[in-house]
Structure formats: structure tokens, C-alpha cells
Chain A
């Protein structure tokens, strides 16, 4: 396993070089958070809905085995072909084999974070299969050959000028064009051609219903529907945690999903797929890829309740000021930081530390994942298993040695404060990251304890 080339803190330094850009990024995402708040406040039962969704998902995690078997049986009865993939490689191979068996070399794909997680596109490219992402944001980052920076708003890190340049280069729009209407129209024409000519369409799955074997795909652009309605082969890929027990539960999750994600009452297109239409082939690929391992971690299993709304990113003050790419994991932000170490502790050891533990993420989460508590718990796990940098570990041990001995602490404090007074340069220097952009506190003449001894402790 490898370490990430650039850790979150270092990547954030780069992101913060352009302060007006950071302000714009922060305000753009805060705007979404505010829309979410407004939508949530329109429902008096909002907190009850969250509690209900959380309970349903807890039930799913506790009955994953039987629900998955039930879902498979119903889906097979409906004429859907069901595949099981233990990991990303198997998932990719299954998709590649399905396409190859039909002689298909070009496919459209709607939004699916799972296929990002599995690196499906480069894999299929290596088998000579071209994939076009049809979600507008995903298409934009695909043309830029970069990963999405947000799970719901993949191109949120880009301004319309960036899109204008990109479309000029790839779609032949006028140089310097920035009008969203014009650029979107160009994308629409470009994608329409793809929908009409591709024989296979891959979609994600938002909710898979165990009692019916059906599944729901939610988009705002209708691109999933455009793809599958025109394709001979529909492949739907899902992590196994996408299950819900019954159709009636869709009412709970659909009310929460879009309100949490963007502040809309519901996704524009919420399409429920039950069986292939005449002449069509429908496949479901159910993927584990580390989920069983996470399910077996008592402190972290309920991260699998996530419905991928992205609300925790929009509210996270760190995410808004460091950008999705600084997290170097397929899912950025708070939820990504508790999912990532499960995949690779060494490579992602920095991510649970990319947080102030402010707890806002936990409060917006529609399924009540205790995200900030899990960030804290991951820190404990990572430190115990030796994934925290040696210098930091040594510093903490030294701190502990002082703080667990009152005399040593009192003496050290006194000496430290005197030194700061006598030779401020000892702390006011470029080696002190506090001092880089902040003044140090002025050391007082006496500690509180010393004041107390002089003024109160005369017994």
C-alpha cells in the first residue's frame, strides 16, 4: 500500500493560495447548505424523518445477509441478471464481460460513485471500450481528465470561465463564452448524440428494494433515463449497502435525499426500475469492495448508512476551504474521511485529521451517521496501529509526560513563559506554524495557579 503523494494539509496550502477563489468556493457551497436548511425547516417532521431513516438503515446493516438474498431472488424473478463482485477488479471484469459479450465498444454512464471507486473507466478503456459520462458535471471532469471534487456536484470547483474554455476546446463552442445557458445547450447537443448511438447504459443505484427486487435511480438531468431507455443493455452497479427493506421506505429516503443534497423537495427524476422492457437486458452488479470489512468494525459500520447526499461536504468548514481534491479519496469531505481508512489506512491516515471535529456533519446527515465521533475514533485506531507520523507521536508523548506530572507542568509553564518574554524569537519564528499567520498569546507574569496561591489559598 502506498502513501498519498500529497496529504490533505499540504494540498490545502495550494488551494488557499488564491483567497478570492477560496471565498467563492466557500460561499458557493454555503449557499447549498442554506438551501438545505430552508428545505429542512419546511417539514415539521424533519428530525423525525432523519430518525426514521437512521432506524431503517440500522435494520438493513443488521440484516444485510438475508436482505441481499431476498433482493437477489426477487430481481431474478423479475428477469434481471444478478452478479456479485467481491472487489473492484471483479466488478470491472463483470461489466467488461457483459459489454464484450454483446460486442459493445461504446457506452453511456450516468452518475455512479461506485464506478469511480472501482476506476471502471480506465479499466474499460484498457479493454478498448469507450465510456461517456452523461451527468453534466461528470462529463466536465471527464473531459478535464480529473476526478470529481464532490459526490453530488462533481465540478463544483470550477467556474463558468473554466467550463467555457473546456467546451471551446472539446465541443467547439465560441472562445470566451461563459453564458451557462449557451454552454449547457452545447453539452445537451453533444450528449444527445451519445444517447442515440450507444447500445449500453450503465447507471448507479440510489436505493435497492429487497421486497421487490427493484431499484431506484435519482438524477436531476434525466440522463440516466435517457441512457437506459435508448439502450439494449442496462447495467446497474451498486455497493451492497444501497439496500432498503421495502418499497414504502422509499418515501422516507426520497424526502430526505434531495432536500439534504441541494435543498430541492425531490430529485427531478426518481426512476424506479423493476424489470427489463421487452428486448432489453438488465443487469445488477452487487459490489462488496471492502464493505464487509467496514460492516465488521463496530465503531465504523454505520458509515455504511450513507445515502450519498453530500450534505456533510456542503456544511464542512474544512471541505469548503480545501476543496474535494485535497482529500485524495474518491469520496471527499467528512463522510469520505471515515470511509477512506477502511480501504487503506496508510494512504488515508491524514484524512480523519482533516477536521476540527466541529460536528456540523453529524447534524446535517439525513441518516444520522455520527461522523465526527467516527473521525475521532479513526484517529485512535490510526495512532494505535502506528499510522501517525513518528514526529507527531513523539511530540504527543512528550506533552503527556509533562501534563501527567503536576510539578513538571508547573515548572515547565513558568520556564516556558519566562523564555517567551525574554526571547520571543524562540516561538516567534518560521518553524512555528502558529506564528506563520498569527501572533502568539502574550505570556502573563503569573499563572492562574500562582495568582490563586497569592490571593485565595491562605488557609
Chain B
């Protein structure tokens, strides 16, 4: 299902001009955070960063399609925009990049972007690809057992859909009609492995039928189209209709992480072509077209976002790192034990 932004006359259920401007804000905030991360890495200040450039539209859309405070996300490490749109602050994002002791996700123990804020309904993840998908299913199971209203949305790349556990997760959710949305952000590359070498099917969504789930595709660079698709899946889950597999086609503009150099497996032309589909300026143009934003308002938002990111960077840089004594905390509830 795909929609040309210019065709839409009325806004979809749940979206208002203010919410649209908020979505736009989170997209530029994310872009600035991402760029900052790469910059800090190239400056030698942080060891590692990963961006979601190319994914911003689907991620902000997914966050807005969910109910804050009720629904849960179980994201993966490329979901910076989703996290920032779902309650993570720029300070918290920079803290994890700097691996500070007060890092709210893991106190500097995890790689960057391994979000975990249970108070804001963001579940803990690890670096093990697809390991979180069965967790998300377990959470949805718990919600259903307790007759809670909550929907779980879990996201992952197309590479994750090769893991056996991913299939086990969809199978389980399908059997029990669980209130969960499986969101695949297909950016066509798993590090250097292109989709053609990752799976025999053309679309990840084609796999859904094997698990008794509806599988739908949307343009992951179009925030409105993405919102509509994810919203429909969320509503279905909330109404007791079970799970959906949503595949958002997007692209990855940058290398996998700061430790990767995508020029070793992609041509500069391909990367240039892909960057032309940048969702952020495209959305700004769409908003301007529709009169939801004008130039000076856009500039204000950008200024505000930059100020936030600058403040967050300066602040996080000043925070203390963990100490060697911190090694032993939180092994067990009672302490390290023998």
C-alpha cells in the first residue's frame, strides 16, 4: 500500500498539523543527533556511532502510531528516531554515546543505541540480532493474559528475518493472535550483505502468510504512508485481531556503523542516488506545500533542535564515566555473589 503525499486531502486519524510539525521536529532532531555522533567519533571523542539516516520517516511514524504511556516498543539499535520520538531525550542519547555512568539505558555497559527505559515503555535490547523479537512476543503474551490494552511494536532490519528465532516469534504470535506489530525496516543491506543474498523472497512481508499473519508493505521514506500502515496494524492488535508484519521499504544512507566503510561494497553512484530520497527534506517540502509549515518556522525548529543537541552534547561530555567498582553492580538482585 503506497500513497503519494500530494494526493491526500484529509489527514489520517490521529494526525493533526501540530503532530505533523512534531514529527518533523523529531526527524531533524534525530538527524542532528546522528550527525553529531559521527562527528564525535571522527573527532576521536567517542569510539562508536550508528545512524538511522534514511529510516527517519518510518520510525517517527511508528512512534506516533502508538499510544505513549500504554504501548511498548522493543526496538533495535538503528531506531534512534523511534526512541527520540517515544520519549528518549537528546541528553540521554548523547550520554549513551559517551558511555557515562548515569547513562539511563545501561550505565555505559551497552553499545550505543541499545535502548532500555522501562518507565517509558521502551524494553531492553542487546546486540544479538533478532533475540529481542521473541521477548516482544512474550510481552504481548503477558499483556493479553492480563487483558491489558497495550500493544507491543518490535522493529528490526531485514537481516533479522533470517534468524530462526525471528520465525519462531512470528509463529508463536500467529498461533495466539497476540497484540503485536512486527515492523521490518528494510534498508536492503545487512552490513554488506544485500537483500538478494539474505532471502529468496522479494519482500519480507511475503513471509507473513507462513505464520497466519497479514503482511503489508509501505514506503518507509513517507511518514504519512508509514503512519497509516502502522496505525492500521496497531489498531488491529488493540482490537484483538492479532499480529501484523509491516515491511517499510527504506534505505541506509550511511555505512552500517562508524566501524564500517560501505564503499567497499556499494558504489558511490548508488549511495548518491539513495541520498536523493532523503525523507527529511522531502517531508519539509510536503509540509510547506500543504501550508503546515513556512520557512521561518522550519528554521526555528532547526535552530531549536540544534540548540538541544549542542546542550546535550556539552552536558553529556561533562558527565563522569563509570568506575572500576561499578563493574560488580546489578549482576544479581543481591549483588555479585560467588
* Real binding pair: no
Binding site for A on B (CB under 8 A): none
Binding site for B on A (CB under 8 A): none
